[in-house]
Structure 1
Amino acid sequence: MKKIWMVILLIGMVKVAAAQDSIYIFSYFKDNGQDGLHLAYSEDGYTWKELGNGRSYLQPTAGKDKLMRDPCVIRGADGLFHMVWTVSWNEKGIGYASSPDLLHWSAQQDIPVMEHEPGALNCWAPEITYDARNKTYMIYWATTIPGRFPAGDTSGDDKYNHRLYYVTTKNFKTFTPAQVLYDQGFNVIDATIIPDNNRYVMFLKDETRKPPQKNIRVAVSNKLTRGYGKPSAPITGQYWAEGPTVLKRGKEWIVYFDKYTQGSYGAVRSEDNGKTWTDISDKLTMPKGLRHGTVVAITREEFNKLKD
């Protein structure tokens, strides 16, 4: 019995050491995304500082407009960091690159995910979620195709009435045809999905303008690529919010988002696996000019190389 308790204690110590060894990296863009990838770091998830004195870590080359907006970075099952981003306001592809260390990047690809849709206006805010069950990556984003979804056609901003689409891939070279991921009859953008035991939790922006919503909501499914139901009530407050990203630490979840009309960042926290939410925006310290991005954990050794 004593040996069993010693083993349990050692496992607990390893987990604590691993948690203390983690540094959180926030990938983001500034201004219009013309100068590429920016990085910030934090040890506690609350105080964030820019890396490299705010320099760009990757200049955009993909797409016609060569922007790098909404960068999403995840660590893949292969150990590489995989990134996708918005290359333009009005193009039919998304950008992709990979890196072993967030410093040295592969050649940038322009993936034409909506090229088969003549009427598609855009591909905004792509993200990646790894499907461990099927050993595939799902890339998903928001696109407007005028007339495709009559519901919400007159309630959005100008000509936009977005729905979420997705493709899957095992190697970021070949992709399945794009399919609708989420359509609940309203204008929706900026989804991010996290696995949570036997379910998948999608955080999304209700983009409805008339009447104004512009808030973050939650939808849940037991399948990664389908089955997300009606959204929850807003988890954000009486301000416009977009670009959610999630830091998940056990039962504690922190959802960061861009208060884009106020030029600041906000966050809400749940300590019961997303059942209830508390606004913690006043506890955040974020770099000036930080815009829509994602959080990924790295080791302290990786961080030291990145910092140096």
Structure 2
Amino acid sequence: MVRSRRPLALLHLTLSAIAVTVAPACAQSRPVPPGAPETPYVAPDRAYLFAHMTRERYGVLHYSVSLDGLHWQQLNRGAPVSSDYHGHASIARGGDGRYYLVGNQSDDDPLIRFWVSDDLVRWTPFGTYRPRLEGIAGMAHALPRIGAPKLFYDAPSRDFLLTWHTPTVPGTPDDPERYWGSQRTLYVRSPDLRRFSEAPRRLFGWEMATIDAFVVPNDGGPGYCAVFKDERYPSYDWTTGKTVRISCAPTLTGRYAPPGPPLSPNFREVPTLIRSPDGHDWLLYYEQYAGTSYGLSKAPRLAGPWYQVSGNSGVPAWDRYTMPAGLRHGSMIAIDRQQYDALVAAYPPA
């Protein structure tokens, strides 16, 4: 008896159709193979602001923005966005919803200066703070110098944490690095950037030169993590010199554990950290100094694993991120799409 093959043919066609329908969805859910083209995720309500200086205008406030945290565009046709501000831009949003910006005129400036903004478009002076650098515990002979003050607002305590670095040893022409090797990170707390804790303290208990330190909540559990530059000069005795490292603590001001391994190559500084729009990755940017370019390391959690991302390579097919040339020290923050649109309208890109 000869049986009809029609049902089998129909079944084959039906299964083929299902496979064609399902395959794209399955492919989208699979991870992108290493080195394959990537399409960065853009969230409908999220964007990023990078407040920074430039190689040509050191200490002057400029803006760049991004929708995906990876591809950046400079605003205001490359011109400054403030005629008043000077410093290494660091922005924190306070409990009142307003934004606070910190800076100083130079490391010799005895005052740390604050500005405030409701919308990130216009900044107005807010006040000053003069830290007392004499008699700091574990920091004898502190020099009257204040480097790169940075702000963090801690919602649980409703306090701002203000950090900066100060040296204890002057440099000499034949040994300039002893100055940088004596840098230590100091901090004070304040509920409103008008009243400050009595005297600065050292943030880290271990003896290591550190600069450019900032604090974020620890995503691996309770506590906080500090990201900073290991400021010792690299050598066979100190291979981690001039790299970005991280240390975590159970409370905002310590005790911070000995720092982990480098998150960047040597001769990188001024780290800044954002979370990717999909929330899957930390994006850690750092400058290859002096003002050469920005690098990027990436990790799913602050504990790692971290790896370097290819960008600014001169080969577009290899680039997973891009930044305008000449950008220097600053900090990145997440903003919403309304704020992004307002910034672009106020300060059109080139």
Q: TM > 0.5 between the two?
A: yes
**For each residue in 1:10-39, what CA deviation from the matched residue of structure 2 results, as whole angstroms up to 9, or x when unmatched?**
xxxxxxxx9421110001012375562111
Would the alpha carbon gap of residues 98 and 227 (structure 1) be closer, same or farther in structure 2, given more than 3 Å must change?
same
Give the aligned residue type for 2:224: Y
Match of 1:157 in 2: 177
Question: Structure 1-normalised TM-score?
Answer: 0.83
Q: Which amino acid aligns with 2:45?
A: D
The match for 2:315 is none
Instruction: Find out whether 1:243 has 2:260 as its counterpart.
Output: no
Distance 2:51 2:291 in 1: 20
Question: What code does the residue aligned with 1:85 have?
Answer: G
- Cα distance change on mapping 1:242 and 1:35 into 2, 3 Å: closer
Q: How far has the Cα of 1:200 moved from its partner?
A: 0.7
Give the CA RMSD over aligned residues.
Answer: 2.5
Q: Between Structure 1 and Structure 2, how many residues are aligned?
A: 279
Paired residues of 1:163 and 1:183 also in contact (CA < 8 A): no
Runs ≥4 residues deviating over 6 A? none
Whether 2:242 is the aligned partner of 1:214: answer yes
Partner of 1:253: 282
Bigger Rg over Cα: 2
SS of 1:70's equivalent in the other structure is: coil
* Partner of residue 27, structure 2: none
Determine whether 1:179 maps to 2:201.
Answer: yes
Q: Normalising to structure 2: TM-score of the pair?
A: 0.73
Instruction: Decide whether aligned partners of structure 1 residues 276 and 132 sit closer, same or farther in structure 2, where only a CA change above 3 A counts.
Output: same
Aligned twin of 1:132:
155
Going from structure 1 to structure 2, the CA distance change for 1:257 and 1:35 (only over 3 Å counts) comes to closer
Q: Which amino acid aligns with 1:159?
A: Y
| Conservation of the 8 A alpha-carbon contact between 1:155 and 1:209 | no
Question: Pick from 50, 54, 71: which aligns with 1:26?
Answer: 50
Q: Is the 8 A contact 1:156 1:207 kept in 2?
A: no
Paired-residue identity, %: 27
Distance 1:92 1:157, change over 3 A: farther
Aligned amino acid, residue 208 of structure 2: F
Q: Aligned to 2:115, which of 86, 89, 97?
A: 97
Instruction: Tell me by how many angstroms 1:246 deviates.
Output: 0.5
1:115: Cα distance to partner? 5.4
Aligned position for 2:254: 226
Write the distance in 2 (CA, Å) between the matches of 1:92 and 1:144: 14
Gaps of 5+ in 1: 1-17, 62-67, 148-153
Task: Indicate the structure with greater strand content.
Answer: 1
